[in-house]
Amino acid sequence: MSNKTTSGRRIINIISIVLMIAVTIGLVFYGSLPESYNYKVGSVAESDIYAPRTFVDTYETERQAVIAKGLVPAVFIRSDNIADTNIDNVNAFFDLVDQERSISSTMDLTDEAAASELSVNVSQSLGATIAPEDLIVFFSMTHSSFRYIRDKAVTMAELIMIEDVNEGILTSAIEEQIDAFKVASPSYSTYADAIGIVLSKIMQPNSVFDEEATEDAANNAYLAVINDPVTVSKGSKIVSSGEVITEHSYSNLSDLELIRSGAFNFVLLLRVAAYILTIAFGLVVYHRSVGGNLTSNPRVYFMMLISFIVPVAASIYLSELSGRFCIFLFFTAIASTYLGTFTGFVLSISQLLVVWPMYSFDIEVLFINIIGITVCAAIAGRRDKVSSSATLILIPTLTCLMSAMAYGFFTGHTRDEFINSGIFAIISSVSSLVAAVGIMPIYELVSNTASPVKLIALSQPGQHLLKRLFLEASGTYSHSMMVANLADSAAEAIGADALLCKVASYYHDIGKLENPQFFTENQHDGKNPHDNLPIMQSVKIITAHPGIGVRLGKKEHLPQAIINIIDEHHGTTYPGYFYNKACMEAKAKGLEEPLVDNFRYPGHIPSSRESAIVMLADTTEAAVKSTGVSDPDSAEKLIRKLVKAKIEQDQLINSGLSFDDLEKVILAFKQVYAGLFHERIKYPDANKNSKS
């Protein structure tokens, strides 16, 4: 194919993909548009309205968030400054007491007079009001007792101020310290009440209101509700018939985009476009990873595009009939049949994701169809044998039914939901697959691909070309049957398309029908017409048979995959017998050796694993037959030699075969010959035991 043709095809593919994406976005957008209502706050609902999807109730969420914010209590924090001031004030109080004790002893004042003077000083210095009668006790105690009481009072103050003490617990904290003092120092318990009075009058709570922390706490409470919003499940009734539309219900309808605005919904279009483009990107990456085989056959490519878009368009209307009515298996059966199990599965899952928004992202739809697609792709994409139409319809249908039942059982469906789900699983599967099976003959006619159905039909002995091969070139027919056995075994060993290899082997030498007597397997009378022909004419006849086979294959409308194998089964090798004969003649005449390129087959080297397998099987069968190898070990040595020669001649560089694959191919060939060469049991001659 010329570069110009390849470039033109690539441009067409790109344009078609862009158009396909645009059409898909349009269909999904149209199918995802919810039913809208011309309601305002205060309107009366004419019918029940249910949530088409799970959504966040922003109105209720905001209301609860505001409530939570208002319920947050004020935040108080411990103030080191207040705590230190309290301790300093306690020390200052005892300094005043000590000072007054000294004055009273010098001036010989009574305890009452000293206590009154102390009360005034405390009020002036510390701003605390303590009655004189509560202070007399500090003048009646001894000097050592005073020092002890002072030390204990300061310690109590320090212990109290270590904690975060607010106004509500300051009194109880002081009482706890006083009670502990009474227990620890019972001989000084008479001073305990005075200490308690002093501490309660002088000390202030060290916990102060923190406006910033309180505001932060309120905001955190608000955000906690916002981040864990109130959600309304899909199917929940949000408005009842006859109900007045409130601000709350109007907000819910707006969030669900159910309020008719008259404006084009660009937001939904952008959402759909982003969603579809993401899926398309994944498919492009997959397409590149599999080597572009999705677009290698233009007929199949456009057939797949049509098959892909039909269920998408149909889903617009089917989803309105029921949220469980979907026909995704239609595309699965077709894609898997023509592109293989895995590619069919990938494309079908992509189609399911594309249509999923129309079904409101229903998990049940996703679950049932993923299971159904998996089974349908596995059956439709089999290459070892063709499943009947009944099997293709029945097994996926039963699978979808079981999936629906399993999902309903797990989620606790009611009896009516069980029945409804099961009925639509059957209807969806049967309608999808019957339509696919019914349209496949048209696709077979249009695409001319190597589908399993087509290959099985071509493998029948009554096919025109095979019948001609059997009658006109019986040796070539036998050779082709043996090549088919080898190719089939090798393909199964490496996971290639065994059915394609087998059927292509039947047809790989149909080009010999034009001159069958010029090929040794068809020369049964001992006469070789090449003995009377110039070497180059013989070479022309021999090397022409792949090209002749391609022309016959196209005339008989063989699938392109088989035509490719016919063209490539000799690659660009050359018939060694005639080249060596030409070299000997040139040497005898004193001439230079002829150019090997003049002897090569005009075909192409294998472009697929299947084509390479048929090449190796063809070479092996011919070599084993011509050398007379009769045991498996000798056959293996010969096979390895032949494979090595093909590698050295660069015949396998485009085939996709790895060295591990080649090893498996060699062992598979050996296994076939091991069965062919096995010794038969010698049965005794019955005549020897008979009596004369």
Please count the other Cβ atoms lying within 10 Å of the Cβ belonging to residue 356. 21
| Phi, psi at 666, each rounded to 5° | -60, -45
β-strands 237-239, 231-232 pairing: unpaired
- Give the H/E segment covering residue 78: strand 76-78
Which comes out higher in pLDDT, residue 450 or 592? 592
| Phi, psi at 207, each rounded to 5° | -95, 125
Residue 541 amino acid letter: I
Which of 310-334 are b and which e, b meaning 16 or more Cβ less than 10 Å from the residue's Cβ? bbbbbbbebbeeebbbbbbbbbbbb
Please count the other Cβ atoms lying within 10 Å of the Cβ belonging to residue 267. 9
Which stretches within 228-265 are classed as H helix? 247-255
pLDDT of residue 389: 77
Distance CA 121, CA 251 (A): 68
Distance CA 297, CA 158 (A): 91
Residue 617's Cβ-count burial label (10 Å; 0-12, 13-18, 19+) is: buried
Can you tell me the mean pLDDT for 564-571?
92
pLDDT of residue 412: 83
Q: What is the pLDDT of residues 145-167, one digit of tens each?
A: 999 999 999 999 999 999 888 88
Residue 448 amino acid letter: N
pLDDT of residue 684: 56
pLDDT of residue 640: 94
Can you tell me the mean pLDDT for 438-466?
79
Extract the tokens encoding 76: 């108080």
Structural domains for the chain: 3-32+265-449 (no CATH), 76-209 (no CATH), 458-677 (1.10.3210)
Residue 692 reports pLDDT greater than 50: no
Q: What is the pLDDT of residues 510-528, one digit of tens each?
A: 998 888 888 888 787 777 7
Residue 690 reports pLDDT greater than 50: no
Please report which confidence band the pLDDT of residue 682 belongs to, taking 50, 70 and 90 as the band edges. low
Which stretches within 508-575 are classed as H helix? 535-543, 545-555, 560-568
Name which of 21, 24, 17 is nearest 313 in CA terms. Answer: 24
Residue 688 reports pLDDT greater than 50: no
Residues in the chain, total: 692
Q: What is the pLDDT of residues 575-591, one digit of tens each?
A: 888 888 888 888 888 88
Residue 143 reports pLDDT greater than 50: yes
What pTM did the predictor assign? 0.57
pLDDT of residue 524: 74
Which comes out higher in pLDDT, residue 532 or 483? 483
Q: Answer whether 380's CB lies under 8 Å from 336's CB.
A: yes
- Torsion angle defined by CA atoms of residues 290, 294, 296 and 300, in that order, rounded to the nearest 10 degrees: 160
- Give the H/E segment covering residue 224: helix 211-227
pLDDT of residue 627: 85
Distance CA 231, CA 534 (A): 89
Extract the tokens encoding 564: 């490719």
DSSP type of residue 438: H
Q: What is the pLDDT of residues 211-266, one digit of tens each?
A: 888 999 999 999 999 999 998 887 788 888 888 888 898 888 888 777 766 567 78
pLDDT of residue 383: 62
Here the contacts of 161-164 (C-beta below 8 Å, separation 24 or greater) are 161/83, 161/84, 161/86, 161/87, 161/203, 161/206, 162/83, 163/78, 164/76, 164/77, 164/78, 164/206, 164/207
pLDDT of residue 293: 57
Q: What is the pLDDT of residues 309-357, one digit of tens each?
A: 999 999 888 887 777 888 889 999 988 888 888 889 999 999 999 999 8
Q: pLDDT exceeding 90 applies to what percent of the chain? A: 40
| Phi, psi at 231, each rounded to 5° | -110, 145
Q: What is the pLDDT of residues 382-432, one digit of tens each?
A: 765 555 678 889 999 999 999 999 998 888 888 888 888 889 999 999 999
Can you tell me the mean pLDDT for 654-678?
89
